[in-house]
Amino acid sequence: MKYVDEFRDRALAEKLSAAIHAEADPARDYNFMEFCGGHTHAIFRYGVQDLVPANVHFIHGPGCPVCILPIRRLDDAIELAEMPGAILCSYGDMLRVPGSKRRSLMSAKADGADVRMVYSTLDALAIARANPDRQVVFLGIGFETTTPPSALAIRQAADEGLENFSVFCNHVLTPAAIRHILDAPEIDPEQAVRLDGFLGPSHVSTVIGSKPYEFLAEKYAKPVVIAGFEPLDVMQSVLMLIRQVNDGRVAVENQYTRVVTREGNAKAQELVDDVFELRPTFEWRGLGWMADSALAIRDKYARFDAEKRFPISEKTAREVKSCECPAILRGVKKPKDCKLFGKVCTPENPMGSCMVSSEGACAAYWTYRRAETLAEMALEAAE
Amino acid sequence: MTALEPLGKARFRADERVTMSHGGGARAMADLIRKVFAHHFANPLLDQHHDVARLDRPEGRIVVSTDGHVISPLFFPGGDIGSLAVHGTLNDVAMGGARPVALTAGFIIEEGFPLADLDRIAASMGEAARKAGVPIATGDTKVVERGKGDGVFITTTGIGVVPDGVEISPERIAPGQAILLSGPIGDHGVAILSARQGLEFGTSIVSDSAALHRMAADMIAAAPDIALLRDPTRGGLSATLNELVEGTRHGMLIDERAIPVRPEVASACELLGLDPLHIANEGKLVCICDAVDADRVLAAMHAHPEGAGAALIGHVTAEQPGFVRMTTRIGGMRVVDWLSGEQLPRIC
């Protein structure tokens, strides 16, 4: 595959690995947070950890859209799916996530709700056109990457006068979450996680550019490298971060120059701005309520807003007790620190969101490094 | 069940559909069987006009395997549910080290199903069985009300004979043995996805659906001591290998770079966020044999079109029992896990 295989080349990986080993100072640790679940997935799928020294640590951040959707919102989605005559359209990896009482969209489907997996918002629009007597709700989730397609669908529905289409908007914003993680120690010192730099979310930056991360360097003195998702992208970005740390520099650098610019995609930004506005506050699974961290549909498109269009009951929902997802999502703990990991919590029987999404940290450890993780856990238990 | 209609004479109207009476045991059912199934499956065993098929007692041990086929869409690039139902069961029999002797076929058909489609499926089954040299010896037809089925479900059972001296069994897997794969993985699953409603994408990939019993027989002839044969169907290569190590005292180490995957399959998987290791195959086999036999077995595979892309992909190990591990493309290491639930495309 052109433009893919080049970034998975063994010889180049060995060269980068040698450079990282040569430049990483053995007298210190390097703690780099990859915000994106996509990076977590790439690191584990290709075994990038095996090619960097043991003192370079990957701290997994909250950047998996499936992981951070709170149970309450998922329950709302299930409730929308169960409205008589409704069709709920969702991206595939949302379907298995358990909400309250371990019910998921998949189990709602098994109980008779019309839940359909779609690959794009345009598929959901097509379903709405084909079913004029049904209400089609698209479950909009994800970061800045998946927001423009939702905006486009709403605009298109408005242009066509499509009366039976709406979006249940759960789109969230990355800079707010990163800020929250860095502010956490000030609020609660126990939540402190030592971070020496960030692997920046590159697909997000294809839309918003690298500029929105400059506050990390300016205000928090944290180096950032906007990193592509191929294993060699990740390795090169790690090398760039190590160099910044070693040189005492703090900057936003862009490794993913083949796609990302400082300003991002102006057209997509305008589209999003036309359809969405900031929510004053929004709950993130694991991180709690955060100001200015999510988007809502503007009033002018209210008829395409499932929250305004349909009554959704107020409800409370609780996480599974002793699940460490919140601390894992903030990078404070690792999956092996959770008592449930691998015992009662597995991808077949997930207790928390980090295990259910293939991009969640727990699922990544379970799926790709189970042998090592279980051995470490046994060792720690023996101590 | 004989009396084939003369060539050129239409056996049924073009717009004719299956009705409840086709499953009711009356003349309509006899007509359906005669015009569709007997027409396409004709062979001396079926033509015995009996509710059972009488087979001669063979030399060796008998194996039997049964498999239900439920697939959407029913027709896909490179095959259909009919040929798949034949190949799938023949391969299950062959993976036991057996020579397939006969097949049975049970049909559950939804009321309203176009007779022309049923005929196409039966024709494809008949052709697959003839090419494989294995007769469909007996069968059954049921019709369910509209909405209570999904077009057609087919259950096939295969009977085969294992020659004396051949002992193919997971219990014989041992550290040091070689793991061979007969060709590129993921073709069937991607071909199905490409034809699935709502996801039609242009690809030249066709299903690898094929009968593997002749290749398997030649492999066994080349190395009668083969420990295991298995076709990596649902759940793909990862499920097959995990099944073989789970709960055992050995592990497996495979090399990602040695596993053949067609570029088109790799591209489709990239696009959809799927892992080729988890994608279904219908014409591939995994063979585990002593390392000294590996070259001989590979040569036997290469001599067949179904094994042209065969490769040595790894070894059984004494380390990390219960785990399948893989050296990744870039030189890292990871566990190759079972697929959890259904493989669902990632959001971003």
Per-residue pLDDT tens digits for B248-289: 999 999 999 999 999 999 999 988 888 999 999 999 999 999
- What is the pLDDT at residue A245? 98
Reported as a pLDDT band with limits 50, 70 and 90, residue B226 is very high
Q: What φ, ψ does residue B158 adopt, rounded to 5°? A: -120, 140
Query: Which residue of chain A has the CA closest to B272?
Result: A119
Query: What distance in Å separates the CA atoms of residue B22 and residue A110, rounded to the nearest whole number?
Result: 31
Whether residue B3 is predicted with pLDDT greater than 70 in this model: the reply is no
For chain B, the C-alpha Rg in angstroms (whole number) is 21
- What is the pLDDT at residue B58? 84
When CB atoms are compared, the residue of A51, A94, A367 closest to B331 is: A51
Q: What φ, ψ does residue B56 adopt, rounded to 5°? A: -70, 150
Question: Across the A/B interface, how many CB contacts are shorter than 8 Å?
Answer: 107
- What is the pLDDT at residue B345? 60
Taking an 8 Å cut-off on Cβ atoms, the answer to whether B348 and A348 are in contact is no
Q: ipTM exceeding 0.90?
A: no
**Average pLDDT along chain B:** 92
Query: Distance from B331 to chain A by nearest Cα, in Å?
Result: 6
Other residues' Cβ atoms within 10 Å of the Cβ of residue A262: 13
B318 in reach of chain A (CB within 8 A): no
Q: Which of residues 154-173 of A touch B (CB under 8 A)?
A: none
Which tokens belong to A178?
A: 């990163």
Taking an 8 Å cut-off on Cβ atoms, the answer to whether A1 and B328 are in contact is no
Residues in a beta bridge with A141: A170
Taking an 8 Å cut-off on Cβ atoms, the answer to whether B348 and A65 are in contact is yes
Q: Which residues in chain A come in under a pLDDT of 70?
A: 1, 185-192
Query: What distance in Å separates the CA atoms of residue B297 and residue B222, rounded to the nearest whole number?
Result: 6
Q: What φ, ψ does residue B250 adopt, rounded to 5°? A: -130, 165
Query: Which residue of chain A has the CA closest to B251?
Result: A371
Whether residue B344 is predicted with pLDDT greater than 60 in this model: the reply is yes
Whether residue B1 is predicted with pLDDT greater than 70 in this model: the reply is no
DSSP-based three-state secondary structure for B102: strand
- Helices and strands (H and E) in chain B: how many: 9, 13
A8 in reach of chain B (CB within 8 A): yes
Query: Distance from A347 to chain B by nearest Cα, in Å?
Result: 6
Strand extents, DSSP E, A8-130: 30-36, 56-63, 86-90, 114-117
DSSP-based three-state secondary structure for A339: coil
Query: Distance from B262 to chain A by nearest Cα, in Å?
Result: 10
Taking an 8 Å cut-off on Cβ atoms, the answer to whether B330 and A46 are in contact is yes
- What is the pLDDT at residue A187? 57
Whether residue B6 is predicted with pLDDT greater than 50 in this model: the reply is no
Reported as a pLDDT band with limits 50, 70 and 90, residue B57 is confident
Span B57-68, average pLDDT:
93
